[in-house]
Structure 1
Amino acid sequence: MAPVTDHEPRVVLSARGLGKDFGGFTAVNNVDLDVHHARIHALIGPNGAGKTTVFNLLTKFLQPTRGKITLLGTDITRTRPDKVARMGMVRSFQISAVFPHLTVLENVRVALQRPAELAVQFWQPLSALDRLNGRAEVLIEELGLTPYLNTRAADLSYGRKRVLEIATTLALDPEVLLLDEPMAGMGQEDVQMVAGIIREVARHRAVLMVEHNLNVVADICHQVTVLQRGEILAHGDYATVSTDPRVRTAYMGTEDA
């Protein structure tokens, strides 16, 4: 189980009164959320609960109809997604976003170009990226990918591809990492591997993840927010929310007599 501490670390990402309307339909309504440094926070709920919409609002892929979003003390409610990424919040996607025909090392080097200020220096020779090898190899080693350093991404197992994607997001050295269903489609062995990596990643940054695998949520997450019909149904540690009758009803589809 995720460890319990006597005090909570600082809030790095917060939302207050977050709402999103699509025409006459309210997809998200009055969501308050606090994500803490060095903690893993899960956003869960049944299908159609609004998890992905909240995720897209926080990462600015959607603009909120109502509410306020704060990142590291700065109001980002109307900030563009690319600027938010440069401010320290980076997301992954359900579908792997790596270059399949590049090696693990090459994928991470590409991701390191922006923080190394090489992203727009397109006139430089490919050898200019060689100076990124040291940082890339450290990042690769931290995520257990060293044996696959020169393996093409297309030849990795599905789980290793997701780990490589996490490595490319960590190349931006984010304070807040958002993971969209990181365990989707994985076998149990890969699930355990990736869960362990996420736990290590969260030692130095906040992680907010949308996840359907409740065993993983129970194992590694410090805080859980449960959504239903676009609103917060419950919040707390997993032991608290999993025993909430409203949560059990939402997941199991049964009503108390």
Structure 2
Amino acid sequence: MSEDIILATDDLTKEFAGFVAVNGVTLRVKRGSIHALIGPNGAGKTTCFNLLTKFLQPTRGKITFNGNDITGLAPADIAQLGLVRSFQISAVFPHLTLRENVRVALQRKRGGSFDFWRSKNVLSEFDDRAMSLLEGVGLKQYSHLTAVELPYGRKRALELATTIALDPEMLLLDEPTAGMGHEDIDRVAALIKSVSANRTVLMVEHNLNVVATLSDTITVLTRGRVLAEGDYKTVSNHPEVKEAYMGVGHA
């Protein structure tokens, strides 16, 4: 390949009892880009995302990351390779403080889990880095609060901080602005743009304003197949994309 592709799929297919949810999807995600996966309800976006993050195994097809076949690996294995999913259920510990949440992620990255017996110097290093990460997502002043005390948008920012603490090479974001008001959407979109500076991002996202603002490349799915791909102008002017979104008020 002439282009620098970090994540690729070939003929990715998933069948459930005869129903084909994802049908022969070929995807190429360029290193350093923000790539969005969109489509109307029932298009197969979530199933495709679950295949990429190994929460489901494909019926057939191949997934490669950095040129390595990861089709048969478990979610924990791909996380170790630097491919990390964020914004999933139970992404943070609700009754730990924000600083403690980020520190747990930093300890996981180091290879420990809850290594409270480590020296004060080592834990201090975790604390300093945790505070730096919280500052990066605008949460430093709330570091003493427990996660359960945060409003929804700021909880998403905390999830982003804990994900970045794992130092991923590629972020997979599962509907990062779902259920948010305009202010939170703008804040989280700006954070995604900021953290993508040295990383690749693949996201499933319903908010097409966010997609238009952030994405370098957009893949549109419908009925489990790739309908169109390109930048926002290209896909939004595609006649079949317009038809697929008819009645949604976008594209």
TM-score normalised to structure 1 length: 0.91
* C-alpha distance in 2 between matches for 1:91 and 1:63: 16
| CA 1:40–1:96: 2 relative to 1, 3 Å | farther
Residue 199 of structure 1 pairs with residue 193 of structure 2? yes
SS of the residue corresponding to residue 110 of structure 2 reads coil
- Give 2:144's aligned residue: 150
The answer (yes or no) to whether the contact 2:87–2:175 under 8 Å persists in 1 is yes
- Give 1:228's aligned residue: 222
* C-alpha distance in 1 between matches for 2:171 and 2:208: 20
SS of the residue corresponding to residue 202 of structure 1 reads helix
Bigger mean CA offset, 196-205 vs 244-253: 244-253
* C-alpha distance in 1 between matches for 2:7 and 2:183: 31
Residue 105 of structure 1 pairs with residue 89 of structure 2? no
- Give 1:90's aligned residue: 84
* Cα drift, residue 89 of structure 1: 0.4
| CA 1:212–1:96: 2 relative to 1, 3 Å | farther
Q: How many residues align?
A: 246
CA RMSD of aligned residues (A): 1.9
Residue 243 of structure 1 pairs with residue 226 of structure 2? no
* C-alpha distance in 1 between matches for 2:105 and 2:3: 29
* C-alpha distance in 1 between matches for 2:3 and 2:106: 28
The answer (yes or no) to whether the contact 2:104–2:114 under 8 Å persists in 1 is no
Which of 145, 166, 190 aligns to 1:172? It is 166
Could you tell me which runs of 5 or more consecutive residues in structure 2 were left unpaired when the two chains were aligned.
Answer: none
* 1:1-257 aligned within 5 A: 10-95=4-89, 97-119=91-113, 121=115, 124=117, 129-252=123-246
The answer (yes or no) to whether the contact 1:96–1:165 under 8 Å persists in 2 is no
* Cα drift, residue 36 of structure 1: 1.9
* C-alpha distance in 2 between matches for 1:190 and 1:126: 38
The answer (yes or no) to whether the contact 1:43–1:224 under 8 Å persists in 2 is yes
* C-alpha distance in 1 between matches for 2:132 and 2:29: 27
Q: Deviations over 1:58-92 (max 9, x none)?
A: 01111111111011111101111111000000002
One-letter code aligned to 2:35: H
* Cα drift, residue 95 of structure 1: 3.9
TM-score normalised to structure 2 length: 0.93
- Give 1:5's aligned residue: none
One-letter code aligned to 1:249: E
| CA 1:166–1:182: 2 relative to 1, 3 Å | same
The answer (yes or no) to whether the contact 2:177–2:205 under 8 Å persists in 1 is yes
The answer (yes or no) to whether the contact 2:98–2:143 under 8 Å persists in 1 is yes
Bigger mean CA offset, 152-161 vs 46-55: 152-161
Q: Deviations over 1:164-207 (max 9, x none)?
A: 00111111111110011010010000000000000011111111
The answer (yes or no) to whether the contact 2:107–2:115 under 8 Å persists in 1 is no
* Cα drift, residue 100 of structure 1: 1.4
| CA 1:145–1:121: 2 relative to 1, 3 Å | closer
* Cα drift, residue 145 of structure 1: 1.4
* C-alpha distance in 2 between matches for 1:115 and 1:228: 37
* Cα drift, residue 149 of structure 1: 1.5
One-letter code aligned to 1:116: R
| CA 1:9–1:147: 2 relative to 1, 3 Å | farther
Could you tell me which runs of 5 or more consecutive residues in structure 1 were left unpaired when the two chains were aligned.
Answer: 1-7
